[in-house]
Amino acid sequence: MNAKPPSPATPASPPADDWRIDRERAVRLFGPAAHDWPIEIVEETGSTNADLMTRLKALPQRRNALARPIVRVAYLQTAGRGRRGRSWVAQPGDALLFSLACVVPRPIDGLAGLSLAIGSALVDGLRTLPVAAPGQIALKWPNDVLLEGDKLVGILVETAWSTPSATAVVIGIGTNVRGADTLAAKVRALNAGADAPPVPGTTPTALSRVWPNANLTDTLAAELNALESALQRFGQSGFAPFQARWNACHAYAGREVALFEQGKELMRGVAVGVDERGQLLVDTAQGREAVATGDISLRIADGGA
Ligand code: ATP
């Protein structure tokens, strides 16, 4: 009697929710120190930054108040924010949205350049992913990560408290992983109307443009690995050790730029790079100016993308 041949294995169809973070894989990919960090993953919250700010504010204001950073990831943020309270648009599964709370062993005036150091670390982390042309991931002052000139990552650093020897901060990071076209249309409609021409450096893009298998899990692991060493280094020495790396990844080096404050042009000139405090150096008709971060937006002014 012939045995019935085994039915061919049905290829496992990916579960409907396979865009979610694979915690086991993420933990495997983390470096040893990041492995110990508590990583919370929630379906939905208002804002992961706001959640962790509340948590930090409840701690005793001491340098050793938090043994290790806390990471909180949310698939959906109903009140995600960028700088100046502007909204951050994201679709569940298309964006990696998380915040990291930590106590930096420096007073508040020793935090100059922290958001630039984070940006520089993220570029290094993202360039370890299997993306085509990793050199196309670059920095726009003060703290945007661009991909092929468009906006890939937004960073928002907030301070919960500070003492003469420590500052509690929450670092919020939004990375567009997939769905660039839908996102770009939504952000355009939100900002200037659907028919407005795109402004270089502000159009959203996503990792899937250069990495077909872009996924939240590997992106999270790459970013956390890079942040772990960057936070250690920043805690010890501030921005200075990041200056050269930031400048090496500067998207607008040598380009003519304009700086705006509340819609008004403040300055125009050639972007040189950043100094050891993270200030942008601009060669203007009046000479070299150093611009500190604040309520300032930077745009390319030489007509290119
Ligand atoms: P600017 O260069 O205009 O000063 P910014 O770098 O300070 O901007 P953020 O505050 O980091 O911008 O981000 C908020 C802005 O980013 C929003 O006003 C919107 O234009 C844009 N934006 C919102 N969601 C996304 C997204 N998912 N990807 C890229 N850009 C986005």
For the stretch 89-148, pLDDT in tens is 999 999 999 999 999 999 999 999 999 999 999 999 999 999 999 999 999 999 899 999
Q: Same structural domain for residues 190 and 127?
A: yes
196 lines ligand 1 (CB under 6 A): no
CATH number of domain containing 281? 2.30.30.100
Q: Same structural domain for residues 235 and 268?
A: no
Q: Same structural domain for residues 123 and 87?
A: yes
How many CB atoms within 10 Å of residue 161? Answer: 17
Task: Please report whether residue 32 resides in a domain.
Answer: yes
Peptide bond into 142 cis (omega under 30): yes
Strand, coil or helix: what is 243? helix
Among 87, 88, 152, name the best residue to mutate to test ligand 1's pocket (greatest count of ligand atoms within 8 A of Cβ). 88
210 lines ligand 1 (CB under 6 A): no
Task: Please report whether residue 12 resides in a domain.
Answer: no
Q: Which of 247, 262, 288 is the last residue of a domain?
A: 247
Q: Same structural domain for residues 100 and 141?
A: yes
104 lines ligand 1 (CB under 6 A): no
Sheet holding 95-104, edge to edge: 39-45, 70-77, 95-104, 167-176, 150-162, 144-147, 137-140
Task: Please report whether residue 15 resides in a domain.
Answer: no
Task: Please report whether residue 270 resides in a domain.
Answer: yes
The residue whose CA is least distant from atom 19 of ligand 1 is: 187
Task: Please report whether residue 4 resides in a domain.
Answer: no
Over residues 31-49, the pLDDT tens digits come to 777 778 999 999 999 999 9
151 lines ligand 1 (CB under 6 A): yes
Task: Please report whether residue 202 resides in a domain.
Answer: yes
Over residues 153-185, the pLDDT tens digits come to 999 999 999 999 999 999 999 999 999 999 998
**Count of structural domains within the chain:** 2
Q: Judge whether residue 195 has pLDDT over 80.
A: no
Among 49, 86, 265, name the best residue to mutate to test ligand 1's pocket (greatest count of ligand atoms within 8 A of Cβ). 86
pTM over 0.95: no
Q: Same structural domain for residues 169 and 264?
A: no
Task: Please report whether residue 16 resides in a domain.
Answer: no
Using the mean position of ligand 1's atoms as its centre, give its distance from the Cα of residue 192 in Å: 13
Using the mean position of ligand 1's atoms as its centre, give its distance from the Cα of residue 162 in Å: 27
Q: Which of 293, 82, 120 is nearest to 204 (CA)?
A: 82
Structure token digits, residue 225:
């690995």
What is the domain extent for residue 264? Answer: 253-300
Helix (H) or strand (E) holding 55: helix 48-57
Over residues 8-19, the pLDDT tens digits come to 444 444 445 589
Q: Same structural domain for residues 194 and 291?
A: no
Rounded CA-CA distance 290/38 in Å is 39
Number of continuous H segments (helices) and E segments (strands) in the chain: 7, 12
Q: Which of 240, 90, 235 is nearest to 171 (CA)?
A: 235
Q: Same structural domain for residues 94 and 38?
A: yes
Q: Same structural domain for residues 60 and 158?
A: yes
Q: Same structural domain for residues 235 and 267?
A: no
Confidence of residue 2 (pLDDT cuts 50, 70, 90): very low
Q: Same structural domain for residues 265 and 148?
A: no
Write phi, then psi, for 124 (nearest 5 degrees).
Answer: -60, -40
CATH number of domain containing 68? 3.30.930.10
Task: Please report whether residue 305 resides in a domain.
Answer: no
Using a 10 angstrom Cβ sphere, with 0-12 exposed, 13-18 middle and 19 or more buried, the burial of residue 263 is exposed
Whole-number pLDDT of residue 8: 41
Name the β-bridge partners of 168: 103, 161
Among 47, 77, 81, 83, name the best residue to mutate to test ligand 1's pocket (greatest count of ligand atoms within 8 A of Cβ). 83
Q: Same structural domain for residues 241 and 118?
A: yes
Confidence of residue 304 (pLDDT cuts 50, 70, 90): low
Using the mean position of ligand 1's atoms as its centre, give its distance from the Cα of residue 298 in Å: 12
Q: Which of 247, 264, 279 is the last residue of a domain?
A: 247
Q: Same structural domain for residues 210 and 259?
A: no
* Number of residues written out for the chain: 305
Rounded CA-CA distance 181/106 in Å is 41
Write phi, then psi, for 51 (nearest 5 degrees).
Answer: -60, -45
204 lines ligand 1 (CB under 6 A): yes
